[in-house]
């Protein structure tokens, strides 16, 4: 068991207590469903922008992005490069659409367009995405805090999860937004502090980091060859565009914030503020990853310890040291990248700064998870509870549903986090799961706003075909070995691209095909 100095422990406890007190403060104001889900539309655009930025900057970014840069290169930065185009489309088309409809849920309009099945399908896809997001974020924070504190990962996930549930249930979306404003600052300063410490401890400083990075290709954005079977520049660019289009255009976490601003113009400003902040921030985390790679190149004895830990986790309990050492010798940097940041914190951060770093990691997780809990509860209440169980629900009944569903979804997120313990790469896992679940609802949404000729039945057929394509791409082993030529060979990040376009294009073509078979009247 590692022991955190009392001063650092005080910082951590003070930060977590402050988050609970924020929830208590806003609970005095959150007496209505409108306040809980929209903050009565009184939040300034700059605060919403910081809130959206904080939601993007989760522990998946804090650990996963440096881990990817350590294990490979800066290929993940291409994801960020796709954000401006997705944000431009969202600002021009999606924000005005949502502000005009006035619906707090991002999926209510799908019922008006295609029927109740479309609305419910999108909600299910969104909830699955949130469970994957919350689980991966919980796992990320546990990975760091376990290295720093010695407590089991499951214990960390449960304790942190309960605290997040408390302030999210108490304060609603307003508490979530204002805590995220603070968390956006804390986590950014924490990342800068980590980079400063790496450079300070690195023999030769920045020059040596750049030298090693250039030698081993750490600054590459990936291959520009038009190959869609590996993680090339184009694969990540397409993936990033479709995921960010889904984030800004269909994800309840972001759509709900558009309704909390005072005007449409403020909502647009908040979106662009997020993009302007996240682009350099994501680059910062890639710089951290490349710097950590250089640091462990000059300190091979430290990387040996990480490899041994990673190997031990892959083998059954009770494995011999010889077998662990044998496996450790075969591991590549990409096999243990997510463990490098926690290891650096344990071995190289001086007393007095550990608490600040842990607070930054906590803030990275809390912002995303609390946002996911509130958004999931809002969607469930608006699109499931009030649609199927209580169409004329009173404000008191609505609030009861919001409170209860926030708690339940928070517990589901905790369970998902515990279930993910032991995965190889946080970022890879999150990208894969989000691509699978988001593909269907994004394709249906784009079809709904682009084609007035596609009817309910045609949209349903297109969605079924899209789901089959997604399943085919996700589970290639379902196809027997004798027909292996029919298996998907595209990279897993292409699932959202192909799945979305399948639903969209099939939905556009079906009305035209139907017209070909219409009888010609003389």
SS3 223: coil
SS3 519: coil
- Chain centre to alpha carbon of residue 93: 23
Taking CA atoms, 379 is separated from 105, 252, 345, 430, 437, in Å, by 6, 7, 38, 21, 16
Phi, psi of 57 (to 5 degrees): -90, 70
| b/e map 27-54, b = 16+ CB within 10 Å | beebeebbbbbbbbeebebebbbbbbbb
The two structure tokens encoding residue 201:
């401890």
Q: What share of the chain is helix, strand, coil (3-state, %, to 5)?
A: 80, 0, 20
The two structure tokens encoding residue 41:
């539309």
**Residue 30: predicted pLDDT:** 55
Q: What is the number of other CB atoms lying within 10 angstroms of the CB of residue 418?
A: 19
Structural domains in the chain, CATH included, are 6-422 (1.20.1730.10)
| Helix (H) or strand (E) segment spanning residue 378 | helix 354-379
Nearest CA to 303 out of 343, 263, 269 is that of: 343
Question: For the chain, what's the residue count?
Answer: 522
pTM: predicted TM-score of the whole model, two decimal places: 0.85
**Residue 215: predicted pLDDT:** 94
Sign of the dihedral through C-alpha 62, 63, 66, 69? negative
**Residue 521: predicted pLDDT:** 53
The two structure tokens encoding residue 65:
């992005």
- The terminus-to-terminus CA distance of the chain in angstroms comes to 87
**Residue 292: predicted pLDDT:** 94
**Residue 235: predicted pLDDT:** 96
**Is there a contact between 143 and 426 (Cβ–Cβ < 8 Å)?**
yes
**pLDDT tens string 383-412:** 899 888 888 888 888 888 988 999 999 999
Residues of the chain with pLDDT under 50: 1, 522
Nearest CA to 410 out of 175, 160, 120 is that of: 160
| Burial of residue 479, with CB atoms counted within 10 A of its CB: 0-12 exposed, 13-18 middle, 19 or more buried | middle
**Residue 519: predicted pLDDT:** 65
């Amino acid at each position: 068991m590692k022991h955190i100095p009392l001063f650092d422990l005080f910082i951590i406890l003070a930060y977590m207590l402050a988050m609970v007190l924020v929830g208590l403060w806003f609970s005095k104001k959150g007496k209505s469903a409108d306040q809980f889900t929209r903050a009565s539309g009184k939040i300034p655009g700059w605060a919403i922008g910081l809130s959206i930025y904080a939601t993007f900057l989760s522990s998946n970014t804090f650990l996963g992005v440096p881990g990817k840069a350590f294990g490979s290169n800066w290929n993940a930065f291409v994801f960020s490069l796709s954000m401006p185009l997705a944000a431009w489309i969202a600002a021009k088309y999606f924000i005005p659409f949502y502000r005009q409809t006035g619906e707090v849920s991002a999926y209510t309009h799908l019922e008006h367009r295609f029927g109740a099945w479309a609305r419910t399908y999108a909600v299910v896809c969104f909830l699955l995405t949130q469970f994957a997001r919350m689980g991966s974020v919980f796992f990320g924070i546990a990975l760091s805090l376990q290295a720093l504190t010695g407590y089991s990962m499951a214990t960390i996930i449960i304790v942190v999860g309960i605290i997040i549930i408390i302030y999210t249930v108490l304060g609603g979306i307003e508490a979530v937004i204002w805590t995220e404003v603070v968390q956006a600052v804390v986590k950014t300063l924490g990342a800068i502090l980590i980079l400063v410490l790496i450079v300070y401890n690195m023999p030769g400083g920045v020059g040596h980091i750049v030298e090693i990075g250039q030698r081993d290709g750490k600054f590459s954005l990936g291959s520009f060859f038009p190959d869609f079977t590996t993680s090339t520049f184009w694969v990540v660019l397409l993936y990033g565009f479709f995921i960010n289009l889904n984030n800004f255009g269909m994800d309840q976490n972001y759509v709900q914030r558009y309704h909390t601003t005072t005007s449409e113009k403020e909502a647009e400003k908040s979106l662009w503020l997020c993009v302007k902040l996240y682009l350099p921030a994501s680059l910062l985390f890639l710089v951290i990853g490349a710097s950590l790679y250089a640091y462990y190149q000059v300190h091979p004895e430290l990387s040996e310890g990480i490899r041994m830990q990673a190997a031990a986790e892959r083998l059954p309990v009770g494995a011999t040291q010889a077998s662990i050492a044998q496996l450790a010798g075969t591991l590549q940097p990409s096999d243990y990248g997510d463990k490098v940041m926690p290891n650096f914190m344990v071995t190289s951060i001086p007393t007095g700064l550990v608490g600040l770093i842990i607070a930054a990691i906590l803030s990275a997780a809390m912002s995303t998870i609390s946002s996911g809990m509130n958004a999931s509860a809002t969607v469930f209440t608006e699109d499931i509870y009030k649609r199927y169980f209580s169409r004329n629900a009173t404000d008191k009944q609505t609030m009861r549903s919001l409170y209860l569903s926030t708690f339940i979804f928070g517990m589901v997120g905790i369970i998902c986090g515990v279930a993910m313990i032991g995965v190889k790469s946080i970022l890879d896992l999150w990208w894969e799961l989000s691509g699978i679940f988001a593909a269907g609802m994004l394709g249906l949404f784009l079809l709904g706003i682009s084609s007035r000729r596609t009817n309910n039945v045609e949209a349903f057929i297109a969605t079924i075909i899209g789901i089959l394509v997604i399943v085919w791409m996700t589970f290639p082993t379902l196809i027997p070995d004798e027909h292996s030529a029919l298996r998907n060979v595209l990279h897993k990040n292409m699932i959202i691209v192909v799945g979305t376009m399948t639903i969209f294009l099939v939905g556009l073509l079906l009305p035209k095909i139907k017209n070909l078979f219409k009888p010609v009247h003389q």
